Amino acid sequence: MSQNSTIDVASVSLISPMISSQKFTPSAPLKLGIMASGNGSNFEAVAQAIQDGQLNASIQVLVYNNPGAKAAVRAANWGVESVLLNHRDYKSREDLDRRIVQTLRQYDVEFVIMAGWMRLVTQVLIDAFPEQMINIHPSLLPSFKGIHAVEQALASGVKITGCTVHLLCLEVDSGPILMQAAVPVLPDDTAETLHARIQLQEHRILPQAIALAAQRQCLTLV
């Protein structure tokens, strides 16, 4: 396979539902709280979508749990306040989640976006934001739940994987699916190269899925 053909295949993706130019525009910007544990590239994708006028929202706060998380640096670069809630400082997951709820409410958050949050959450957090918590996962759920989803896909020999944005529930990487993007697995893929291509699609679908979730809730309340 030539280098050019590899690039062509690598750029292919299938997004469902399709990204539409017709955007749901709430009467006021959605107030988002983003939770992240690592690099924060999806945080930046949401911030960029807001700046570009693709998502009518504001990021109220970033909550992160690892002191060295680069997500906090990205937040500072975008002028977004960040709060470190180190999970190691709490006796239980419930104690951590109660503190997260308190923080998110302090910043008047409406929708919670888990963008690479690498901790299991409890009913304490889910009950505080029913149908208002969104997670992004690097696989086509329900396949390859949990950690190391990209490595799971490679080990299984699948030819297509991708990413999923879904509403959160207590079961890991479950809940109603909002949006998915399929990504081909290339013969010479490593976990790093495949994950990089999946992340490109994550950055495309996460802002759109946030708007879909807000529209879904609006219709439910009517």
- 137 as an active site residue: the answer is yes
Sign of CA dihedral 49, 51, 54, 57: positive
Sign of CA dihedral 103, 110, 135, 82: negative
- Which residues line the annotated binding site for (6R)-10-formyltetrahydrofolate? 93, 118-121, 135
- Which residues line the annotated binding site? 40-42, 93, 118-121, 135
Range list of β-strands (E), 12-110: 14-16, 30-36, 57-64, 82-84
Distance CA 46, CA 50 (A): 6
3-state secondary structure of 108: coil
CA separation, residue 41 to residues 35, 73, 105, 201, 222 (Å)? 12, 11, 24, 12, 34
Single out the catalytic residue among 137, 166, 195, 203: 137
Strand order across the beta sheet in which 82-84 lies: 14-16, 177-184, 160-167, 133-137, 111-114, 30-36, 57-64, 82-84
Q: Which two tokens stand for residue 122?
A: 């409890």
For 15, counting Cβ atoms within 10 Å of its Cβ (0-12 exposed, 13-18 middle, 19+ buried), the class is: middle
Residues with a catalytic annotation lie at: 137
